Structure 1
């Protein structure tokens, strides 16, 4: 096996000190008054031998690893995977790498991943805050390590975040259904205290209240188990036959909702108008195509990187937090055509 080249090998070959080689490799030759001739010899030998500096050792000298930790519930979900794709591009453009990870809604897993990030000396964190992880996140923020939250936030945590106007987006989506003649509108969401879900429910309730319409809400106990959620939704749709429209508060809930309706073998003519919070590719090709609230994924990713890079590259501790709230777009498709055109959705 080929021996790994070390700084001392270069120093011995050129008969100079290890310190001199280290200064040259780390771009400090001019600062340390090392001659151009010696600098050239070191760099030429580095290129010839293909020397690769130890990343951890370099981080201890510079205080930076150029690595960012990314923590979400499940990176396979369409929203998170698209965010990850754009973040990876932006990070590479700026000389950073990202460690991507999923907690799978497990507190223990989140703690384990956070420790791995610490061991790798990551420079900063981008996180969709795991439920029940507020105290650990607060401790992390108090170490002055840059932390930028997205998708969800906790009002008590003083940090940077990028979120969308969840309440306004759901209000507008509900208003869209009401304007199209639907009055018995159900809302399927999670049984959770996560702020973004609380805000989405609030937007729906506000729209229904303003129009003096009855709110019909199903809170699913979601344990990442398709069967469990389908059983709960089957019971809901069976008992709420009056519903002429349904809003799903997240794309994975919508996906299980579609599976539920298929298993129940409800005919297209009797199927309620469907609307999903979070757009994803399947909705466009479903029959009929499903209306969705589309989050500005690229803008979210760009805002996250812009905030984090400003923190990482600033030589002074920034006191003001950047807290960005972005707007969404309602993608109108055939699933929510005006009620008097309902048969066109068959």
Structure 2
């Protein structure tokens, strides 16, 4: 098999020889290290789908850490290996690090201190990774991929398979409930929370956005989606709820319920959150609000249904920036439900 790379990656002698002799039917055990929270785990799903397509006979183990148990893709792997970050016993830690045995292929999709140690101690036939510090290529990997902040994370992960000549499906397949534009409810969902408070607009700003959108887009239901944390409630929106009949609250949903709910909605308005990544995974239209995170890493461009609101100078987008962007997106995707039609 040819190594489909020129100057965009790292190959040592072992990696090049392995690629030249690769027969997918001979790969029996694969380990994928991915230690990440909800959103990035969603972005991992297309890689696992395509990994299964490329190596249909392989047993796939996903390795993660105990703090990241939410949204694990159990449906896409054969086993899950968990490093317990609370393990105090040296013997216990060592046993966890050696529990993966000797896989044929190891992918490190994490680039953390723990993932690097696990990669170093796991005697796989070939190891692939994308470390931010290239010095780790020679130390740890046989095949290294350049990692970009300017392309959607889920697509970047697929570069590991493209180097083997694999042709991923587009639009990407997440194996999640799928949005159908023609049957979507006239429902705009807002998720005004983030893991880090500074990555989200203030509650006052969100009130202004939702109220203005409810006035300009009366033909849509405007729904605030509550989160799972105690502080991710709807109390700050009480006054807007009283004043507008088309504004409501969706209480917290389980992960199993959230996928179908999002897929049946018209659009999600949100900052850089795990919920937005779930919307991307269901192909639900999104309007992303960015001012801290690099938007391009979380902005798929292979579909016409995603937009990002951000200023080149990094200023926080204002209420009108967001509502104007939302109106433009809805008019493009749902012309029959446009502002003109709603006001007639």
- TM-score band, normalised by the shorter chain? 0.3 to 0.5
Structure 1 length as normaliser, TM-score?
0.34
Higher helix share: 1
Q: TM-score, normalised by structure 2?
A: 0.34
- Higher Cα radius of gyration: 1
